[in-house]
Amino acid sequence: MTDSTRLSAHEVAAHFRTGDLSSRDATTAAIEAAERGNRALNAWLSIDRERALAEADAADARLRAAHASGAAAVGALHPLLGVPVALKDLVSIKGGQCTAGSRILEGYRAPYDAHVTERLRAVGAVIVGKTNMDEFAMGSSTEHSAFGPTANPWDLERVPGGSSGGSAAAVAAYHVPLAIGTDTGGSIRQPAALTGIVGMKPTYGRVSRYGIVAFASSLDQIGPFARDAQDAAALLHAVAGRDERDSTSAPVPVPDGLLHLTASDDEAAAGLRGKRLGLPKEYFVAGMEPGTEARVRAAVGALEAAGAIVEEVSLPHTDYGLAAYYIVAPAEASANLARYDGIRYGPAARDGDILANYLATRGAGFGDEVKRRIMLGTYALSAGYYDAFYVKAQKVRTLIKGDFDAVWAAGFDAIVAPTSPGVAFRFGAKMDDPVAMYLNDACTLPVNMAGLPGVSIPCGLADGLPVGLQFIGAPWTELGLLELARGYEALTEDAEWRALEPTDLALSLDPAVPTPVERTAVAGTRA
Amino acid sequence: MATLSRDEVAHVAHLARLGLSEAELSRLEGQLNHILEQYAKLAELDTEAIAPTAQTIELENILRDDVATPSLPVEEALANAPERRGDFIVVPAIMSGE
C-alpha cells in the first residue's frame, strides 16, 4: 500500500473495496499530512481529529457490513464513503467553529449543520477540518484572512489564490483528496487554477447554501475541489440538489452521470470529438501574462486536435463585468454583513450606548477588505446613488447574461477560456492596490453574474507555476463540463507536467520553514 | 461620476455602522475614489431599455405549506450571545427614562 494521501478519492474508494485500506488509516494519514504541512501553508484553521476518527470508524463499520453481505452491497456503496474531505471555514458544523476568516466570528459555535455538512455525513465522507479563506470570502489571494495568509505549495512565497485558498492548498498539497469551497466571483476556480487542481462553480441554485456564511446572495455558490474531474463530479453529486431550507436551491434533477465519469482515457478523449467550443476573444485580457496565454492556447489546440470544433466567439460586455460585479457584490455584502452587530453572537465591544457598541464592534471585528466592500456597498445603495450604481449594474448584468445566452443559442456546447489572467503572485504584490487585486477575477466573475457553471482544470505550467483552463456552460450543464474536463485529462495523461508534484511540497513539511505570517511580516505587507 | 469627499466617507461609515480611525478614513477616501473611477466605465453603456437582473435562474415564487416545524431551541439559539439574562439577550438601553 502506497501513501494513501497521494491517491485520488476514487482510488481510495477502490482500496476500501478491496479491503487493503481502512478509512481510519486514510483519515489518520490525512490528519498527519495536514498537521505536518500546516506550519508552512496555514491552509487549515481547525482540524478535529477526534470527530474525524469517529466518522472514519463509522465508515469502516459500513464497509465491513457491506463486505459481509456480498459484492452487490460493496458495489452499492457511495464513492465518498470513508474519504477525507475539508470544508472551507464558512460551512457550519454543529458545535464547531465557523469563522469565515474573520475576527468578528471568533469564538462563535455553529448551532446547526449546513446542508452540505448533512449531505457529506449522509454519504459517509469524513470531515477532517476547516480551511483558511479570505475574510467573508472577499479576496483573490487568501491574504485577507484574519488568521494569516495561506501559502501556495508550488512556491511558499506566493499566494494560493482565493478566497477558498485553504481548501485549494490542502488538496494540492496532498492533505486531502477533496474539499468544499464557495465561489462568488471566482473563489473556487481561481485558487484551483493557481494551485494546479480541479475546482468547479456549479450553476446558481445547484447546491443549497443553508448553513453557509453569506457574502453576496445572488452570486454565491458552493462547489468542489479535487485533483481530477471524476472526484470533483462525485463530490458535486453528493452535495447538489433541492433543499427547501434554501429557496434559491432549484428543483432540477442532479444527473447520476456525475457518479460515473468514465475511467477510460480512450472513451473520455473520444467524447471530445465534434464538441463545439467557443473561444471568447475578450477573455485574453490586456495585461494577461504571456506564459498563461500560451498554455491556454496550447490546451485549446490539443482539444481541437482531438476533434473538438473550436470557434472564436464574442462576449462583448466582458469588459464591463468587473465594474458591475464590484457594485452588485459589495451592495449585497453590505446588507448581509449588517447582522454582525455583537448582540446575538460574536465578540462584542462595549463602548457606551448601543450605537457606540455597533461602531466599536464592527470597527474592531472586520478587516480592511471587508470594510472597503461594506463602504462601497453602502454607498452604492444609499439614497441618490441607488439608480446610478446598483440598478445600472443590474442592467449591465442583463447584458452580460445576454452575451452568454447568444453563445448557447448559436449551438455551442461550452466556452473554453483562461481561468485567471496570470499565475500565482507573490505575497503582498497586490495588497495595496484593490483594483489590481480585483482584476484577478476578470475571467471568472462574468460567470457568476450570469449564474452559469464553470470548471477550472490544470493545463500545464508557466514559469514553473500552474495555469488553469476554464470550461463554462449553459445552466445545469455541469456533467457536460466535467466530461470535457475528463476528456482533456485523458489527452494530457502522459504530459510531463502531470507527473510533477508541487515544487515546494517537500519544503512545506520542513518544521524550520517560516510560516506565511512570518513571511509576510518580513515582507512588510500586512496592514 | 461622483467623487467622495472625506466627510462623505465618514458619513457612509456611519451609515454602515463602522467605527473607523482617522487613518482608515484617509486610506478609504483614496481607495474608494479609485474604485469609483472604474465604475465610470458603466456610463459608456446605454441601458435605458434594459431590464435589471436581480437573480439568474428564473425560479417562480417558492411556496411551502404554512405549518409549524421544529426550530432552534431557545437554549441553543442563545448559546452564542455575548450577554444574556434568562431567555433574553442583554443590550444597552435604547430608550431613555423608565
To 10 degrees, what angle do helices A229-239 and A9-18 make? 80
Chain B contact present for A247, CB below 8 A: yes
Mean pLDDT within A334-342: 96
B82–A396 C-beta distance less than 8 A: no
Q: Look up the ipTM and state it.
A: 0.94
Domain assignment present for A358: no
Phi and psi for A447 in degrees, rounded to 5?
A: -65, -40
Would you state the pLDDT for residue A429?
Answer: 93
Q: At B11, which CATH number?
A: 1.10.20
Closest residue in chain A to residue B48, using alpha carbons only: A395
Phi and psi for A415 in degrees, rounded to 5?
A: -110, 140
Would you state the pLDDT for residue B97?
Answer: 60
| Range name among A177-186, A279-288, A295-304 with the lowest pLDDT average | A279-288
CA distance A377 to A358: 18
Q: What is the 3-state secondary structure (H, E, C) of A389-415?
A: HHHHHHHHHHHHHHHHHHHHHCCCCEE
Closest residue in chain B to residue A370, using alpha carbons only: B18
DSSP symbols for A251-272 = --PPPGGGGG----HHHHHHTT
Q: How far is B37 from chain A (nearest CA, A)?
A: 9
- With CA atoms as reference, report the closest residue to A8 among A109, A104, A80: A80
Mean pLDDT within B33-47: 93
Closest residue in chain B to residue A250, using alpha carbons only: B59
Question: What is the total count of domains within chain A?
Answer: 1
B94–A354 C-beta distance less than 8 A: yes
**pLDDT per residue as tens digits for the range A379-405:** 999 988 899 999 999 999 999 999 999
Closest residue in chain A to residue B34, using alpha carbons only: A435
Would you state the pLDDT for residue A525?
Answer: 45
Q: How does the average pLDDT of chain B come out, rounded?
A: 91
Domain assignment present for A357: no
Cell numbers placing A111: 448551532
Question: What is the total count of domains within chain B?
Answer: 1
* Amino acid in the structure at residue B47: T
Would you state the pLDDT for residue A523?
Answer: 54
Instruction: Choose, out of B3, B53, B63, B94, the residue to mutate when testing the contact with A (most A CBs < 10 Å).
Output: B53
Collapsing DSSP states into helix, strand and coil, what is residue A46?
A: strand
> Is the per-residue pLDDT at A527 higher than 60?
no
Domain assignment present for B12: yes
* Amino acid in the structure at residue B65: D
Q: Which of residues 323-342 of A touch B (CB under 8 A)?
A: 323-324, 326-327, 334, 338, 341-342
Domain assignment present for A382: no
Q: At A179, which CATH number?
A: 3.90.1300.10
Domain assignment present for A337: no
pLDDT band at B1 (very low <50, low <70, confident <90, very high): low
- Judge whether A10 and A131 are in contact, CB under 8 Å: no
CA distance A141 to A160: 6
pLDDT band at A286 (very low <50, low <70, confident <90, very high): confident
> Is the per-residue pLDDT at B52 higher than 60?
yes
B56–A398 C-beta distance less than 8 A: no
Mean pLDDT within A458-465: 98
Among A359, A382, A475, select the one facing B12 at the smallest CB separation. A382
Domain range enclosing B25: 6-44
CA distance A173 to A48: 19
Q: How far is A319 from chain B (nearest CA, A)?
A: 9
B32–A375 C-beta distance less than 8 A: yes
CA distance A442 to A112: 35
> Is the per-residue pLDDT at A10 higher than 90?
yes
Which sequence positions of A are flagged as catalytic? 88, 163, 187
Q: How far is CA A243 from the centre of its chain?
A: 21
Would you state the pLDDT for residue B94?
Answer: 80
B18–A435 C-beta distance less than 8 A: no
> Is the per-residue pLDDT at A40 higher than 50?
yes
H-run or E-run covering A181 = strand A178-183
Tell me the chain A residues in contact with residue B64 when contact means C-beta distances shorter than 8 Å.
244
Domain assignment present for B14: yes
Domain assignment present for A264: no
pLDDT band at A522 (very low <50, low <70, confident <90, very high): low
Mean pLDDT within A158-170: 98
Would you state the pLDDT for residue B95?
Answer: 79
B92–A218 C-beta distance less than 8 A: no
- With CA atoms as reference, report the closest residue to A26 among A94, A91, A88, A80: A80
Mean pLDDT within A138-154: 97
- With CA atoms as reference, report the closest residue to A446 among A356, A335, A321, A338: A321
A434–B34 C-beta distance less than 8 A: yes
- Judge whether A177 and A9 are in contact, CB under 8 Å: yes
B66-94 exposure pattern, b = at least 16 Cβ within 10 A, e = fewer: eeeeeeeeeeeebebbbeeeeeeeebeee
H-run or E-run covering B28 = helix B22-39
Cell numbers placing B5: 469627499
Domain assignment present for A45: yes
pLDDT over 90 for what percent of chain A? 93
Domain assignment present for B91: no
Cα angle for residues A148, A209, A212 (degrees, 5° grid): 30
- Judge whether A417 and A283 are in contact, CB under 8 Å: yes
Q: How far is B62 from chain A (nearest CA, A)?
A: 6
Cα angle for residues A370, A371, A374 (degrees, 5° grid): 85
Domain assignment present for B40: yes
Domain range enclosing A13: 4-250+274-319+397-490+500-523
Among A203, A368, A435, select the one facing B34 at the smallest CB separation. A435
Q: How does the average pLDDT of chain A come out, rounded?
A: 96
